[in-house]
Chain A
Amino acid sequence: MTLQEVKDILDAQLLCGDQLLSSTVNTACGSDMMSDVLAYVKDQAVLLTGLMNQQVIRTAEMMDMVCVIFVRGKTPGEDIVALAKQKEIAVMTTPHRMFTACGLLYQGGLKGGLSHHD
């Protein structure tokens, strides 16, 4: 699935990362705890979260993720988007809640991928 398809499925608004829309992603994860993302996630390309601070982008950076999606219609501040641009990470906001957003992407073909405990 491309990030463009992710955007369409989630009725999302793209806030930065136009150049990444043609990138293909196969896996995603959803969490508000960045500690858990760092602990359990492996090779997931997309992070869905309701947490709103710069550490979301930094966590995605450390995990080599290409896209962060803020759920429940949350719109990040300019500082967060500016950091994402600098790190070349796409940022979207979707009106859907976490459960629904994850479900829609799973239904569309994205998988959870392996965790470190698998």
Chain B
Amino acid sequence: MTETVTENGLSYHFVVPGDDFTRAGEASGSIKSILKKLGIRPDVVRKVAISMYEGEINLVIHAGGGEIDVEIGPEAVDIVLTDHGPGIPDVAKAMEEGWSTATAQVRNLGFGAGMGLPNMKKYSDEMHIDSTVGVGTTVTMRVYL
């Protein structure tokens, strides 16, 4: 994790390894802890933690890892998840609850129920997905403080 103080607030950068499922969630746990220390309202902290955690899990199980940038500003927390994975062919389909391309192995780990992206949309206040098949995916989320 790297931390930078910007004119708007605090900025954090995480590299999420794609080959270590046990570490998935470390970045989200770090941000949750930072937000709590900053005295952010618990319901807002949980919204950020869950939406970022689902995104972090997706990076590991679908994209072979990626990067996460988080900015904590005066009005909102912005989360950007970037990967160079296979991309999402049909974003609208991927947003449907229960739709998943996860493998049986991933399901055995307790994920891949087709709730990841819907959860991210539910817990964030704004979400945008930019995905190109064969190039990768960028998911941008905002949670207002």
Are A and B part of the same complex? yes
Interface size of B by CB at 8 A reads 26
Q: Please state if A34 and B110 are interface contacts (CB–CB under 8 Å).
A: yes
Instruction: Return the contact of A39 from the options B29, B46, B110, B115 (Cβ within 8 A).
Output: B115
- What B residues does A35 contact at CB under 8 A? 110-116, 119
**Main secondary structure on A side of the interface with B:** helix
Q: Are A62 and B28 in contact (CB under 8 A)?
A: yes
From B54, B110, B118, give the contact of A32 (CB < 8 A): B110
* A56-B29 contact given A38-B53, A39-B118, A62-B53, CB 8 Å threshold: no
Q: What residue in chain A is nearest B60 (Cβ atoms)?
A: A55
A53 partner residues in chain B, CB cutoff 8 A: 21-22, 109-110
Bound: A51/B129 CA distance, A? 31
Q: Is the CB of B46 within 8 A of A62?
A: yes
| Given A39-B115, A63-B50; 5 other pairs, CB 8 A cutoff | A34-B110, A35-B119, A36-B113, A59-B53, A62-B53
Binding site for B on A (CB under 8 A): 32-36, 38-39, 51, 53-56, 58-59, 61-64, 79, 87, 116
